[in-house]
Structures are given as C-alpha cells and as structure tokens.
Structure 1
Amino acid sequence: MAIDPRDLNALRTPLLRFAHLQLRNTSLAEDAVSETILAVMEHPDRFHQQSSLKTYVIGILKHKLIDQLRRGKREMRLTDDPYDERSDAAMVEALFDSKDHAIGVQPDWGDPVQTLERKEFFDVLQLCIDKLPAKTGRIFMMREWLEMDTDAICKELDITSANAWVMLYRARTRLRECLQISWFAQVPS
C-alpha cells in the first residue's frame, strides 16, 4: 500500500510535540521524527492498515525514542522540577480533610469509552500534559506512552524508585485536576 507523504506531513507537528516532550531538545526531537518518517517511507509495505496511520507512526516513533534513550545520545540533563515541594503538599492537603477523607464528592466523568472516542479529549489531554513540569511530564510519558518499566525510567533519569512513584503520583494528580477543569467541567456535547 502506498502511503501519501501529505498524510505523514500532517502528522509531523504532533510527532514533534511528543518527541520534544521526551527529549527536551528540539534538534534531537526533529531527528527522531525525521528517522520515523523515513522508516515509514522506506518500508510502506509494513503498514498493513490494522490500525490508523497515526497509531502506526507513533508506534515507530516510540521505538526510535526508546532506542535514542538507551544509546544515551541525549546531550542535555534535566534539572529539578521548577516548582517548590511545598506547592505539592498544599495541593494534596486541599484534597483531604483532617480525617484524611476526600473533600467533596468525586465528579462523575461519564462514559470513559465515549470520552476516549472524542478527538477533542486528546487535544485537552495534550494541553494538560504540556502544563506539567518538565521532569514530571517526561516521567509520565515514559511510563504511560513509551511503556517503560520503573527500573528503566529510574536508570535513565538517575532517580530512586520512590522518587519515580512520587513523580508519577504528582503527574496523575495534576492531570486529573486539569482534566476536571478543562474537560469534564465543560460537559462537552
């Protein structure tokens, strides 16, 4: 099957955004995306249409990013998250009362399958991920999108497993809060 280069060109921006979030380096992200697009164009026969072209290309990009991380070609070093630990404590404190019970009623997020079928949801999710502090967003993406295990993430980022779990908790908490405000409170039709 022939793959239309215009379709790949349309995917370039989301691929770059995803690669940049992982690598935090524009030129390395562009290289990874270029290698991905080149791989797709060199072997169009490998795309069997069992998934969408976007899903197929993102799968290839994930492998390119993992390979690059494993080779240690990164030239940058992540700094600590640019927010203060006290802000996390305040955020968690605000969620619970003095008896450690959740404050307020948990919102009804409706039918998750229906939500996941909406393209707009993924646009809002991407905006929420982009709002995460750099290191927190990166560890979330490594775990949930690249499907790396905790040991590999800890080795790659030179952190302890306890630190990784705390950062993943922070990422999920902030994403939940952002999605509640930006998506579920809007009651999309």
Structure 2
Amino acid sequence: MSATRTLHAQLEALRPQLVRFAQLQLRNDAQAEDAVQDALIAVLEKPDSFRGQSSLRTYVTGILKFKIIDALRQGGRERQFDVDDAGEELVDALFAADGHTREMPRDWGDPDGTLEQKDFFRVLEVCLDKLPAQAARVFMMREWLEFDTDEICKELSVSASNVWVILYRARLRLRECLDLNWFGSAT
C-alpha cells in the first residue's frame, strides 16, 4: 500500500473522533464537519509536513484546534448558556466544613508519560462526555483550545465568575472520573 493510501486510511479512521471533538466545541454538525474536512484537507495537501514527531492523531487534532478557533471567532450566532447547579452537592461532598478537601488526590504518576498513552484519551473523552455539555465545552475551550477567560465570556455571553465556577466543577468531575476509570480506585 502506498504512503498516500496509508495516510488516507489512517485519516479516515481518525475522522469519527475528530468530528465528535469538533461537535463538542461548535455545537453545530455542519460547522463541525466543515472544520474536520478543512483539517483533513490541510494534512492531505501537505503530507510531508507531518514528520512523525508526534502521533498522527495529535498532529491532526492540533490542526483541527485552529480550524475550530477560526469557526468560533467568525461565528456570530447566538448561544444559550445554562449554569449547571446539579453538581453543587457533588462539590460540597468533596470538602469538609472547614473548606479543606476530605481526601487528597492520589499521585497520578508521570503525567507526561500518561498523556502519551492512547487509551488515556479514550477514557478522557468518555469522562468529558459524562460532563454536562456546557461544562465540557467551557473546559475544552479553556484547556484544549487555550481560550482565555475573556474570550470564553465573549463567546458564550457569560460572566467571568460563571466561567470559573463551571471550570472548577468540570475539573472536579473529571478528576473523579479519571480516578475511577484510569488511575484506579484508592486502596
């Protein structure tokens, strides 16, 4: 099989994951498809740009990230944002009355090494899917797309304090999910 056909097959295998990621951010199936197609075309137009210093998935996702940012910045559509108060009990259960955490997080080992593992991203994706949609979106905008708070506020028409509360809750839920599904339960 030629290198071009191999690249096409690898990209086709990655496409469903890329579309899910784009849909999470853009909340519009057509825009998500367009962003993914633009990213895939960028890779196919310059296949020699991929030098294998990272995985193909990381490389294509990096390109897609910028396509999503472009789509978000050019989009002038209205967005509704619902604050998730349902997780308040979960947050309260993690802390003692004096404000300290009830249980310290376990040592997660070598984070850089963990990030290299493909399965970690699969588990992270499942954990993100379990978050309320808006919380997952704010988390991904902040941590993956590297939007600053002002950009998120502008994009979603919410206050900075709202963004920080949502990020805080999302991080707590992701920590719990990763503790249970990736790092293993406490012994």
Q: Flag whether TM exceeds 0.5 (same fold).
A: yes
Whole-Å separation in 1 of the counterparts to 2:98 and 2:29: 47
Q: What code does the residue aligned with 2:156 have?
A: L
Q: Alignment length, in residue pairs?
A: 182
Counterpart pick for 1:37 among 31, 40, 54: 40
Instruction: Please name the residue that 2:141 is paired with.
Output: 142
Identity %: 55
Deviations 1:57-111 (A, max 9, x none): 11110111000011116x5634415x4x2x3321122112222232235434334
Is residue 127–residue 174 contact of structure 2 (8 Å, CA) maintained in 1?
yes
CA RMSD of aligned residues (A): 2.0
Call closer, same or farther: CA 1:118–1:92 in 2, change over 3 Å. same
Any runs of at least 4 consecutive aligned residues in structure 1 with deviations exceeding 4 A, and if so which?
Answer: none
What amino acid maps onto 1:128 in structure 2?
C
Pick from 50, 58, 62 the counterpart of residue 47 of structure 1: 50
Give the superposition deviation at 1:113: 3.9
Q: Which residue of 2 aligns with 1:177?
A: 176
Find the aligned partners of 1:72 and 1:100 in 2 and give their Cα distance: 41
Partner of 1:21: 24
Compared CA separation, residues 167 and 56, structure 1 to 2 (3 A)? same
Q: Name the CA shift for 1:55/1:157 in 2 (closer, same or farther; >3 Å).
A: same
Task: Give the partner amino acid of 1:136.
Answer: A
2:121 maps to 1:132? no
Q: 1:31-180, aligned counterparts within 5 Å?
A: 31-72=34-75, 75=77, 77-81=79-83, 83=84, 85=85, 87-180=86-179
Question: What amino acid is aligned across from residue 69 of structure 1 in structure 2?
Answer: L
Q: CA deviation at 1:114?
A: 4.1
TM-score by length of 2: 0.87
1:78/1:135 contact within 8 Å kept: no
